[in-house]
Structure 1
Amino acid sequence: MPRGSHHDETGLLLEDHGPLSLSRDAGGTWRLDVSPSAKRMVGCRVRVIGARADFDLLDVSQIKAVQPSDG
């Protein structure tokens, strides 16, 4: 996947001593470059839209909580 590639992912929002990360429904993890206000959703299932900024880093343009059936 090249840098700048667009991604629309769903999964569990996690915080591990600093940066937030997304544990993807499809497997794997992204580190997230996201607004600090997203911390209110830690532990929730979320949809993240953004662009790849580095090997495992997404520059998030949109994040929102979703219900389990929203996919």
Structure 2
Amino acid sequence: MPRGSRHDLTGILLEAGLHPVLRVADGGEWRLDVTGRYRHLLGRRVRVAGIRSGFDLLDVLQIEQA
């Protein structure tokens, strides 16, 4: 997956230090560079749309409860 590619993912949002983590069904995890309000979604299943900006880092464009 090249940098700059768009991803639409669904998984569980977890707290993990500087960047929250999205744990997807296949066991993978993405770190999320997210601004704005997201803490009310921690521990819940969410949909995330974002642009890959690092090996496992997504710049979040949209996050919502799934």
TM-score when normalising by structure 2? 0.92
Alpha-carbon distance, 1:27 to partner:
2.4
For 2:22, what is the secondary structure of its paired residue? Answer: strand
For 1:37, what is the secondary structure of its paired residue? Answer: coil
Give 4+ residue runs of structure 1 displaced > 4 Å after superposition.
none
C-alpha separation between the residues in 1 aligned to 2:17 and 2:3? 26
Aligned identity (percent) is 53
Matched AA of 1:53: S
For 1:30, what is the secondary structure of its paired residue? Answer: strand
C-alpha separation between the residues in 1 aligned to 2:40 and 2:22? 14
C-alpha contact 1:15 1:42 (8 A) present in aligned 2: yes
Equivalence for 1:22: 22
Please say which structure displays the higher CA radius of gyration. 1
Instruction: Identify unmatched segments of 5+ residues in structure 1.
Output: 67-71
Q: Which deviates further from its counterpart, 30-39 or 3-12?
A: 30-39
Q: Residues 38 and 15 from structure 1, CA distance in 2 versus in 1: closer, same or farther, beyond 3 angstroms?
A: same
Instruction: Identify unmatched segments of 5+ residues in structure 2.
Output: none
Q: CA RMSD in A?
A: 1.0
In the comparison of the two structures, how many residue pairs are matched?
A: 66
Matched AA of 2:12: L
Matched AA of 2:5: S
